[in-house]
């Protein structure tokens, strides 16, 4: 949410080809950040987005809403505007189904709750509780946005009895900073056990790798910014050196340490497994079990 009450989020979806972006330019940077910096409502946001390629929405969809009560789901080629007093978005493309024969139990559950209850904070808290995921990919946090008053209600790891109320106007006055979410909340045993399990699993993966020691001066030749068009969106990878360690940063992973296996080959451990990194021919090549992509250096400065 920005200071005007414009909100966005993405949901992952099965592949849906975007064809109407042919000939449109890719935005050189993060298009969604530009939208949040420049737009105050969904009309301005849609006008901006329509000027650029939306190929990056072939495996996801964008939902936007504003303080005027308007909202829309952008499926790449198609925009679905809110009709009535609510709009629901989960993890499928609604345009592919006729007569609301949707294949999502969570959608149906939310719609039933919205139709049959008074709309207030308690209702939305109950909706979050009823639809959170405790499977392999557990819900890490949940939030409720009051776009008119610029208030966020933040919930941590399935605990819907405790929330943090965030006043956006007051927070922006404090300047740029980073806060670890779990430190805002009372001790959550289930969350701590989950964190411990994830860290233990990541350490097990790490122990299987052949880690070597390098002269930190080797890292100097890799420092800089690298660029790739990934799923139709320009992505910048920043490689930095700090206290004799090498780091890899993107908007997806944040800042992660690169652990050396040789002078050119590194890896980092993420929640979904090992990611291999190779520096070769002025490129940084990133590989995982599902992805492989090469980004070209565009700057020697970070």
Of the ranges 66-75, 186-195, 287-296, the best mean pLDDT one: 66-75
| Same domain, yes or no: 75 and 176 | yes
Average pLDDT over residues 116-131: 94
Query: Is the residue at 247 inside a domain?
Result: yes
Q: Examine residue 42 and state whether it is found in any structural domain, yes or no.
A: yes
Say yes or no: 187 and 241 in one domain.
Answer: no
Task: In whole angstroms, give the CA distance from residue 106 to residue 75.
Answer: 19
pLDDT-derived band of residue 136, with 50, 70 and 90 as boundaries?
confident
- What is the pTM assigned to this prediction? 0.84
Q: Is residue 32 part of a domain?
A: yes
Q: Are residues 51 and 171 in the same domain?
A: yes
DSSP state of 39: -
CATH number of the domain to which 246 belongs? 2.40.128
- Among 170, 197, 224, where does a domain finish? 197
Give the burial string for 53-69 (b: 16+ CB within 10 Å, else e): bbbbbbebbbbbbbbee
Does 192 share its domain with 107?
A: yes
Instruction: Assign 99 a pLDDT band (cuts: 50, 70, 90).
Output: confident
d(CA 23, CA 268) in angstroms, rounded, equals 37
Q: Residue 270 is part of which domain span?
A: 216-299
242 or 270, greater pLDDT: 242
For residue 58, pLDDT over 70 is answered with yes
């Amino acid at each position: 949410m920005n200071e005007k009450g414009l909100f966005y989020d993405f949901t992952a979806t099965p592949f849906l080809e975007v064809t109407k972006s042919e000939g449109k330019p890719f935005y050189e940077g993060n298009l969604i950040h530009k939208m949040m910096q420049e737009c105050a409502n969904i009309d301005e946001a849609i006008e901006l987005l329509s000027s650029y390629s939306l190929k990056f929405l072939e495996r996801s969809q964008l939902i936007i809403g504003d303080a005027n009560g308007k909202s829309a789901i952008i499926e790449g080629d198609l925009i679905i505007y809110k009709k009535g007093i609510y709009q629901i978005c989960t993890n499928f493309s609604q345009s592919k189904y006729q007569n609301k024969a949707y294949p999502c139990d969570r959608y149906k559950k939310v719609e039933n709750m919205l139709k049959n209850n008074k709309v207030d904070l308690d209702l939305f808290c109950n909706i979050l509780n009823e639809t959170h995921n405790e499977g392999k990919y557990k819900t890490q946090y949940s939030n409720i946005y009051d776009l008119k008053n610029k208030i966020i209600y933040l919930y941590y790891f399935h605990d819907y009895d405790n929330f943090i109320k965030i006043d956006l106007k007051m927070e922006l006055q404090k300047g740029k900073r980073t806060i670890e979410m779990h430190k805002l909340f009372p001790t959550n045993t289930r969350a701590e056990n989950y964190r411990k399990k994830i860290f233990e699993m990541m350490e097990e993966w790490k122990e299987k790798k052949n880690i070597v020691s390098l002269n930190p001066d080797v890292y100097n030749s890799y420092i800089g910014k690298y660029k790739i068009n990934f799923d139709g969106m320009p992505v910048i990878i920043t490689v930095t050196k700090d206290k004799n360690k090498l780091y890899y940063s993107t908007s997806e992973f944040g800042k992660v340490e690169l652990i050396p296996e040789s002078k050119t080959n590194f890896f980092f451990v993420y929640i979904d497994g090992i990611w291999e990194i190779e520096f070769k021919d002025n490129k940084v090549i990133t590989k995982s079990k599902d992805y492989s992509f090469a980004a070209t250096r565009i700057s020697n400065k970070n």
